[in-house]
Amino acid sequence: MGTQLAMAGTAAKAGRPAPEITFEKLIHDFGEIGTGTANTCEFKFTNTGNASLKIGQIKCPCGCTVPRLPKTKYAPGESGALKITYRAGSYPGSITKSCTVPSNDKKSHTVILSIKAKVVMKVGHQPERLNLLLKGENAGCPDITLTSFDKQPFAIKNFKSTGDVITADYDSLVKATKFVLKPKVDNEKLRKGLRGQVEIGLTHPECKTVRIVFDTLPKFKVDPRLVYVRNAEPKKPVKKKVSVFSNYGEDFEIESTSSKKGTVKVLTQKKVRNGYEFELQITPLDAKAKRGAFTDVFSVKIKDGQQLQITCCGIYLRKGAKSSR
């Protein structure tokens, strides 16, 4: 008797009206698209069930992929179109993005829609990055050449850089398939910000912006940048060597050295070619420090006012383990 009732309940439940969402496709391939461009596709669907279809909140992975659906309720037999706009980034490469579409369809509660594309540069630039120097004419900055790969003429709308370190003259009224810009570097601003990027706004229909990274060889090099003590033991000194060199082959003088927490002491300071070599004594503090590790910062102040920092850190030896420094 109980089995018969269960079967009857199941049959009644199966006969109830239910919505069903059916998409014409689940994947859209844009093919090749330009950097910085907005690209929109449609995913058409129909409620092939016999009850009202209700679509929930559509979720896409990031702000570069935006869904648009005019309404969320569809009667049986009614069709709709979900539009998804993908804004390409500034760098070339293949992309795949997926959006989830929830609904009250019991068979397919969530449908995953995917978009694919190959982002390509419609306007190329040479060099690929700007390697600058803190000495020499115009910081050694080369000309920047912009070339339209699809032969589509374009104009330059704007030119800006991080910290206004690099500027360039241009005529926004001129259209061409190739431009050669002569950047000007402000050396004082460059010393305050050694790294950044140049951003050039364009009128090209499939390449609105070109970004070029700039990097500057710093005045000094520290080797190593990080001093690591393996299996440290509380209050047991460890000797390490670090060096400071001039990247430009120039002599300089050390004004002072210091340790933020007092665990680093200079045993010797030796003048070498284009720099200095230090022998340090690192004495870890009590092992009760946070999470069984210690850290300190060893600072070297150059006579011209620049201060270099070297991180010294380590993990304490576990109880019962043998030291292997």
Would you put residue 8 in left (φ > 0), alpha (ψ -120 to 50) or beta? Answer: alpha
The answer to whether residue 36 scores a pLDDT higher than 90 is no
Q: What is the pLDDT of residue 85?
A: 97
The answer to whether residue 323 scores a pLDDT higher than 80 is no
Q: What is the pLDDT of residue 1?
A: 40
> What integer best gives the mean pLDDT of the chain?
90
Task: Give the tens place of pLDDT for each residue, 224-282.
Answer: 999 999 888 888 999 999 999 999 999 999 999 999 999 999 999 999 999 999 999 99
pLDDT tier at 111, thresholds 50, 70, 90: very high
CATH superfamily of 220-316: Immunoglobulins (2.60.40.10)
Query: Is residue 174 exposed (0-12), middle (13-18) or buried (19+ Cβ within 10 Å)?
Result: exposed
pTM: 0.71
Q: What is the pLDDT of residue 229?
A: 92
Query: Alpha-carbon torsion 74, 113, 25, 109, what sign?
Result: negative
CATH superfamily of 17-120: Immunoglobulins (2.60.40.10)
Euclidean distance between CA atoms 18 and 37, whole angstroms: 40
- The token duo for 37 is 């461009």
The answer to whether residue 82 scores a pLDDT higher than 60 is yes
Q: What is the pLDDT of residue 4?
A: 35
Q: Where in the chain is the domain with CATH 2.60.40.10?
A: 17-120, 123-216, 220-316
CATH superfamily of 123-216: Immunoglobulins (2.60.40.10)
The answer to whether residue 133 scores a pLDDT higher than 80 is yes
The answer to whether residue 316 scores a pLDDT higher than 60 is yes
DSSP, res 53: E
